[in-house]
Structure 1
Amino acid sequence: RLIISMRNKSPSLKLSNATQYTVRIKHTEHQFTVGANETLLQAALRQHIELPWGCGSGICGVCMADILEGELEYPSPPLALFEEDEAMGKGLICVGLPCSDLLLYIPEMGS
């Protein structure tokens, strides 16, 4: 699994044993919890929080967000996430699985 971490800014492998994480969206009042093996998008929609997304499978890149705090992992590398994006701390909401609490910046959701 590929993990994007804003602590050391380099991908690593890690398995998490927590069952739930909290996700906050910067410049908004939005906060939601994500369960084990649940993507950020699945959790947000389950809790009636609308996030930008398109394909739902990591191909289009519409759901790209800045990972300001925390770690995000992917079961397999998403096609719309390039090395340059990862180096800038970006991640895909639709296929990303959290491995810590997260603070995200989503330009479409705040100033």
Structure 2
Amino acid sequence: MRFQQGENQSLLQSALAQSIRLPHSCCNGTCRTCMCKLDAGAIAYQIEWPGLTREEKEEGWILPCVAQAESDLVIDVPDAIDLKK
């Protein structure tokens, strides 16, 4: 599935706006429901979120609910659903 990063939106907000449902709950970086693997690309957080340990970040785990793309990305989200189909 492909989607475009919306201006001033998190990855989660951008996906939802384009009818792609990613797992989520709190939408503030703490519950870890949206946690997924970044396979390629770069993301940024506006602040240091408590939902990931240093080790998880080093392993490539991200929180799409509070992350913004800095480049084209490949993320591994097995439970994503394309609502347009």
* TM-score, structure 2 normalization: 0.88
CA distance in 2, matches of 1:107, 1:47: 18
CA distance in 2, matches of 1:34, 1:86: 21
Residue correspondence of structure 1 range 15-94 to structure 2 within 5 A: 30-94=1-65
Give ranges in structure 1 of 5+ residues lacking alignment. 1-29
Give ranges in structure 2 of 5+ residues lacking alignment. 81-85
What is the identity, as a one-letter code, of the residue corresponding to 1:46? A
SS in 1 for 2:43: strand
Aligned residue pair count: 81
- What is the CA distance between 1:35 and its match in structure 2? 2.3
CA distance in 2, matches of 1:73, 1:97: 5
Cα RMSD between the aligned structures? 1.4
- What is the CA distance between 1:82 and its match in structure 2? 1.0
* Map of 1:101 onto structure 2: 72
Q: Deviations over 1:52-92 (max 9, x none)?
A: 01100001111011000000110001111110110101100
Give identity over the alignment, percent. 36
* TM-score, structure 1 normalization: 0.69
By percentage of residues, which structure has more strand? Answer: 1
